[in-house]
């Protein structure tokens, strides 16, 4: 029998054994490294595949009036998002979604591009979905890879106070806006942000803190169960109580129905704004995303401009209320004796001129002293006396009372207004295109280039009512009281202004007699203004203040293109004051 000699020696056996042992220990070492040393990293990777992180949201804070009535609440709804990386065929999926959620395919694609944040981040494509729509999407889950939905909260407004400009509204954030926002609040495209009014001013306080929930999913992305470990809870925003009195707000709005203008009522002692009406207005729910493009365009093109908050951003000539600025300068500089009288014949012709400047009362007021000039708003008295004042003194005094600058009320987009001074006239009319004596004739009547907002008029009357020690205007009930710069004048100046304003309402020939109250124990002080308007009928103004229950309140009424201040604005002011006094008594008794 043929035999082959085994030539393997001990060295070969040992080499083979070493290779086997080295391979085995290498495998065990690698296994140990993967399972023990590098466990966390690979466990995290596996979690990415089997566990999905869902952002959770809490409700925004509620907005309430001073008595606790809810003005802005939250309404549960659903938001639809897609993750671009997980979409298998975007066109097909969007076409199916379009038929379910009743949104055009073109609109879905537009939203996708607008709110796109990256391949692996959710992109909001629809909101305000119904439970039925969500159920239908869930039934077809396998046909919608990359499509998710989440519960969210939309703002819902009190049906009896859903058109208040000061409340503001929310707007979706797009990817171009995100980098400009506060990074600590972690905004993402498609989320809602306070964009106007109180919603914007107090965004940080009202906004919730987002959370994260972790869920285990299968290979199709379907939820298996929710994990309880490491979840981060979402916290709701803070509720915000306003200084607004909802009942007074409703009444003020109703009395301005069908008119363009503004009504403001405040507590002079604290700066709290009790009512802020801008008319016409609009239903704030248009910003919930259910308004069609045509309806939105109609709102934008409306000639009455309902989107404008006239109270803080409407600019108007001031009218005769600025005669009080002239009064202050006249007395402060001892330029007139308040008891001296001037003759008003109905016409004033400046020295060296042939131009006629007329009084609103064509036949004239006869002999007029300072008190009568304020009470009956005599133009001729102020035409003559304002010539004693320098332009700089007059404009400096007007600016001291807050004109030409914002009131710093806690609302965004307030306008500055305009008090024209020498620099303004030189810049706009040239060195020789105007005269100081001539422009003063317009300024003392609050006409010419002067522009103010109703809320600046409110600050002005509050300065007068408080005799210069005036809290800043505010809408946040819990905001700490702060003060405007103190305005110091001798008491006799305030006394003369108060006396004249009392007679405006309560004297037989006072220009604001239609605001007179039935309540004999309440004294209403006021000043009417009829501001000429080159674009139509004059604007009707009334500013005033009164004491009730040891508190001083102020009121401003402005009716755009309304006509005479005494005939139109005064009775509105009287009705609002009467209502507030009666409702306050009712609350006090109950």
Domains and CATH numbers, the chain: 52-241 (3.90.1310.10), 275-589 (3.40.710.10)
Tens of pLDDT, residue by residue over 435-447, are 999 999 999 999 9
Q: In which band, very low, low, confident or very high, does the pLDDT at 48 lie, cut at 50, 70 and 90?
A: low
The torsion angle over the Cα atoms of residues 164, 473, 410 and 541, rounded to 10 degrees, is: 40
Q: pLDDT tens, 314-357?
A: 999 999 999 999 999 999 999 999 999 999 999 998 887 878 89
pLDDT of residue 53: 74
Cα–Cα dist 561/319, whole Å: 13
Q: Mean pLDDT score of the chain, rounded to an integer?
A: 88
Token representation of residue 403: 């004109």
Q: Are 361 and 583 in contact (CB under 8 A)?
A: no
Report pTM.
0.85
How far, in Å, CA of 181 to CA of 203, rounded?
Answer: 11
Q: What is the pLDDT of residues 547-586, one digit of tens each?
A: 998 999 999 999 999 999 999 999 999 999 999 998 876 5
Using a 10 angstrom Cβ sphere, with 0-12 exposed, 13-18 middle and 19 or more buried, the burial of residue 553 is buried
For CA atoms 537, 538, 539, 542, the dihedral sign is negative
pLDDT score at 149 = 83
Q: Sorting pLDDT into bands at 50, 70 and 90, what band is 47?
A: low
487-539 pLDDT, tens per residue? 999 999 999 999 999 999 999 999 999 999 887 688 999 999 999 988 889 99
Higher pLDDT, 162 or 391: 391
Tell me the per-residue pLDDT of 237-288, one tens digit each, with 9 for 90 and over.
Answer: 999 999 999 999 999 999 999 999 999 999 999 999 999 999 999 888 777 6
Mean pLDDT of the 93-110 span: 86
Residue of 90, 76, 60, 75 whose CA lies nearest to 149: 76
The model's confidence at residue 2, banded by pLDDT at 50, 70 and 90, is: low
Q: Residue 587: which pLDDT band, with cuts at 50, 70 and 90?
A: low
């Amino acid at each position: 029998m043929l035999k082959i000699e085994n030539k393997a020696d001990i060295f070969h056996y040992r080499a083979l054994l070493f290779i086997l042992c080295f391979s085995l220990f290498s495998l065990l070492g690698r296994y140990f490294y993967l399972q023990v040393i590098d466990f966390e990293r690979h466990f995290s990777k596996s979690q990415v595949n089997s566990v999905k992180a869902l952002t959770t949201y809490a409700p925004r804070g509620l907005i309430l009036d001073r008595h606790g009535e809810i003005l802005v609440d939250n309404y549960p709804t659903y938001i639809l998002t897609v993750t671009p990386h997980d979409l298998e065929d975007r066109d097909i999926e969007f076409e199916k979604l379009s038929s379910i959620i009743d949104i055009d395919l073109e609109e879905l694609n537009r939203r996708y591009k607008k709110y796109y944040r990256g391949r692996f981040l959710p992109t909001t494509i629809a909101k305000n979905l119904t439970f039925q729509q969500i159920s239908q999407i869930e039934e077809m889950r396998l046909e919608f890879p990359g499509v998710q939905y989440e519960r969210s909260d939309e703002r819902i407004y009190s049906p009896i106070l859903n058109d208040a400009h000061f409340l503001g509204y929310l707007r979706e954030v797009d990817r171009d806006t995100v980098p400009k926002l506060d990074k600590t609040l972690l905004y993402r495209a498609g989320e809602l942000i306070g964009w106007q009014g109180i919603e914007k001013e107090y965004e940080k306080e009202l906004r919730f803190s987002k959370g994260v929930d972790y869920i285990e999913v299968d290979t199709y992305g379907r939820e298996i169960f929710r994990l309880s470990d490491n979840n981060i809870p979402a916290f709701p925003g803070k509720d915000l109580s306003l200084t607004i009195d909802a009942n007074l707000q409703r009444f003020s709005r109703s009395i301005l129905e069908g008119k363009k203008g503004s009504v403001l009522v405040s507590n002079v002692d604290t700066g709290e704004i009790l009512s802020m009406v801008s008319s016409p207005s609009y239903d704030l729910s248009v910003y919930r995303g259910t308004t069609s493009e045509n309806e939105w365009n109609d709102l934008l093109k409306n000639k009455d401009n309902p989107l404008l908050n006239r109270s803080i951003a409407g600019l108007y000539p001031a009218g005769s209320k600025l005669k009080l600025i002239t009064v202050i300068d006249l007395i402060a500089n001892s330029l007139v004796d308040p008891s001296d009288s001037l003759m008003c014949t109905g016409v004033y012709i400046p020295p060296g001129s042939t131009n006629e400047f007329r009084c609103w009362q064509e036949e004239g007021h006869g002999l007029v002293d300072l008190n009568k000039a304020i009470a009956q708003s005599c133009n001729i008295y102020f035409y003559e006396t304002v010539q004693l004042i320098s332009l700089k003194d007059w404009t400096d005094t007007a600016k001291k009372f807050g004109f030409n600058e914002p009131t710093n009320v806690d609302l965004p987009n307030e306008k500055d207004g305009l008090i024209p001074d020498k620099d303004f006239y030189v810049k706009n009319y040239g060195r020789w295109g105007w005269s100081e004596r001539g422009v003063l004739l317009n300024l003392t009547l609050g006409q010419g280039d002067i522009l103010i907002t109703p809320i600046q008029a409110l600050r002005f009357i509050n300065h007068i009512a408080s005799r210069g020690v005036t809290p800043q205007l505010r809408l946040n009930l819990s905001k700490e009281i702060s003060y405007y710069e103190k305005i110091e004048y001798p008491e006799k100046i305030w006394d003369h202004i108060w006396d004249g304003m009392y007679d405006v309402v309560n004297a037989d020939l006072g220009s604001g007699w239609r605001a007179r109250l039935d309540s004999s124990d309440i004294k209403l002080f006021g000043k009417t203004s009829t501001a000429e308007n080159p674009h139509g009928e004059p604007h009707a103004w009334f500013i005033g203040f009164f004491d009730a229950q040891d508190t001083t309140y102020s009121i401003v009424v402005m009716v755009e293109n309304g006509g005479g201040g005494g005939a139109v604005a005064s009775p509105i002011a009287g009705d609002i004051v009467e209502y507030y006094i009666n409702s306050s008594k009712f609350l006090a008794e109950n």
